[in-house]
Structure 1
């Protein structure tokens, strides 16, 4: 109840890097495809307030400080939800709390997600002054009819405009997110979206195939026959188009769904993908320290009440075995451009993948498993086969 961890989990906290994730669970409206732990004003009920949220997160930080003391905080990522529904001052207050509690590294990467319509030039300048260095904007598409299917509220032109405003405000890195394979999206629509992100002058692009999650409005519409289900072949074609356009514009893939210009990779996500420690603040946030993973209660009211009562908001946890950690490490590292040492995977399965053209021969000869473009299309299958 006090959030304490086993001694063996806290012996070298942050030895491989330490990150802080802050979950902001508020949204102005719910997108049709979204199954994240987010709440609109009508869904919140009593006991949860945006105005008091920063103070509530600081209470969890007070608890966390009694549990671990990492060497430093390398990265902070504020996600949601729509973090920028909070005031820039509140986001700055949370960041100050992280620095006061554990100490930000001098070169810490500090990211917030944002919906394009939720920020303005003055808001972005205030965020930058508060210490945020990176912003990730949810563009999804440059086609108005695709945005309508996704239940997005911004116009097609707002995302690139917000990206320019972020650059003008002094953000070191700006990302635009894309979703491909939405019902009704044409190849031409996606090509225009790619051209829009390239022309926006950003240094990072994330592109994800639409996944229809049970319980979402979009899933209901598809079951009713109002929308067709996404097609795997279409998703593959979109991915190939993304690789071609982004590579030609100077971006390089470094994770299956992420491309960046030189030195613009998201360091926070790389810490996740390479097995670092992190503390997740906020309702429903997940954490991992020294082979222990835990997650907070999901509803903001329950989260706030637990902290007001002076107890951990943790809802459950698991102690990862050596085998668990190996499997997760392979699952994540195979998706990276750096790949994984061949000694850590099944040799026969890796040889088959090489013969099928799914692995880079030069990397293979150097003792590493690195996916080819075709291998990236079949990454999940390769991972299943090579887990030793």
Structure 2
């Protein structure tokens, strides 16, 4: 591993649980149903391999640091995020085992944020009680929509009212921090569907909401339906209208945006995701998980059977590694940091970028906040295009351009 060129204060552990009971029509995540895996790559095999990967990860980081003190060594996790897939399918006992594996290897920093995603249908009051007992302190629930017709289009299996009930059960179990995920812009969705979903979000009394526009990914069942004309293609103007509906309703009820697709009540921001957005370090464990340590980015083999076999053979299941340059770090910092409400320090941008920034300020899409450049409310809808304009301008200032 090369020398660290960017100082970091955040370290997290992400664990990917690759199991789902069914495959949703819009999903292209690295997930597998029991029928796709057969009997040789189930949860028990996965958990055995995961524990060994965590041990090997700590040994790898310790050896790299011993060989070169500029290398980041293993650190206690300040944030933990269990994602998927459907982590709740391995049950509270399985999730407790995952957290014990992290505690026994990396360790947990005092006050660590520890989140697991859960499908509302595979949770219960007893499930949440057991998670609190084992050390989890944040829950993220996949709601997507409160409309049964939208859920059918998404191939989601939960009943519309279950996410609200699950959120209330989590709060009753002592979880102060609960997130609900929304998806907006689904083909056939109406304004009333979005209003109904927002009513449910507010009834659930959560402190965090993530709202994402539907992306029709190539290779998914939904993409095939759109291509055949069975579903209408998503509409950018509809996306913008729905985003504004969501933003206005949440901000009127105690939430504020802190990243373009994320809103929180005071103190409810997701610290783990902030680690991604501010160029922090994290180890990603599990099939297909991505890691970012110092100047290296790497990811694991995707299939659970191959993942387990590689670990059983005594090697980390890393599939590919990329060495990041200072320019790579800067590009990622701009791509992610300008999506944050706080923006980025004006001093990091090149002269050509500042000319583009000034034009976007004149258009009301960017503004200066203290010494930072940040998107305005209007600019949030166009953040990706603004970021692309700035990065293209910075390319003009590179030597030899």
TM-score, normalization: structure 2? 0.92
Which residue matches 1:56? 49
Is residue 2:291 matched to residue 1:296? no
Q: CA deviation at 1:51?
A: 2.3
For the residues of structure 2 that align with 1:249 and 1:350, how far apart are their CA atoms? 32
Which residue matches 2:236? 232
3-state SS of 2:195 partner: helix
Is residue 2:85 matched to residue 1:81? yes
For the residues of structure 2 that align with 1:50 and 1:97, how far apart are their CA atoms? 15
Greater shift after overlay, 371-380 or 94-103? 94-103
Greater shift after overlay, 266-275 or 367-376? 367-376
Which residue matches 1:271? 275
For the residues of structure 2 that align with 1:107 and 1:35, how far apart are their CA atoms? 34
Q: CA deviation at 1:8?
A: 2.3
Match of 2:333 among 314, 324, 329: 329
**Cα pair 1:48 1:300 within 8 Å, conserved:** yes
Q: CA deviation at 1:221?
A: 0.7
**Cα pair 2:8 2:279 within 8 Å, conserved:** no
Which residue matches 1:381? 385
Which residue matches 1:281? 285
Match of 1:349 among 327, 331, 356: 356
Greater shift after overlay, 68-77 or 199-208? 68-77
Which residue matches 1:35? 28
Please tell me the root mean square deviation across aligned C-alpha atoms, in Å: 1.3
For the residues of structure 2 that align with 1:47 and 1:314, how far apart are their CA atoms? 21
Q: CA deviation at 1:172?
A: 2.1
3-state SS of 1:295 partner: strand
TM-score, normalization: structure 1? 0.95
Q: CA deviation at 1:52?
A: 2.6
For the residues of structure 1 that align with 2:324 and 2:215, how far apart are their CA atoms? 28
3-state SS of 1:86 partner: helix
Which residue matches 2:185? 181
For the residues of structure 1 that align with 2:348 and 2:83, how far apart are their CA atoms? 32
Q: CA deviation at 1:67?
A: 1.3
Aligned residue runs from structure 1 range 96-135, under 5 A: 96-135=100-139
**Cα pair 1:18 1:70 within 8 Å, conserved:** no
**Cα pair 2:45 2:308 within 8 Å, conserved:** no
Deviations 1:152-173, CA, capped at 9 Å, x for gaps: 0011100000000000111120
Deviations 1:194-218, CA, capped at 9 Å, x for gaps: 1210121000000000000000000
**Cα pair 1:16 1:275 within 8 Å, conserved:** no
Unaligned 5+ segments in structure 1 are: 1-5
Q: CA deviation at 1:7?
A: 5.4
Match of 1:260 among 234, 257, 264: 264
Match of 1:22 among 15, 19, 29: 15
Is residue 2:214 matched to residue 1:210? yes
Which residue matches 1:160? 164
For the residues of structure 1 that align with 2:204 and 2:127, how far apart are their CA atoms? 19
Which residue matches 1:3? none
For the residues of structure 1 that align with 2:3 and 2:326, how far apart are their CA atoms? 13
Deviations 1:250-269, CA, capped at 9 Å, x for gaps: 10000000000001000000
3-state SS of 1:111 partner: strand
Q: CA deviation at 1:71?
A: 3.2
Number of aligned positions between the proteins: 378
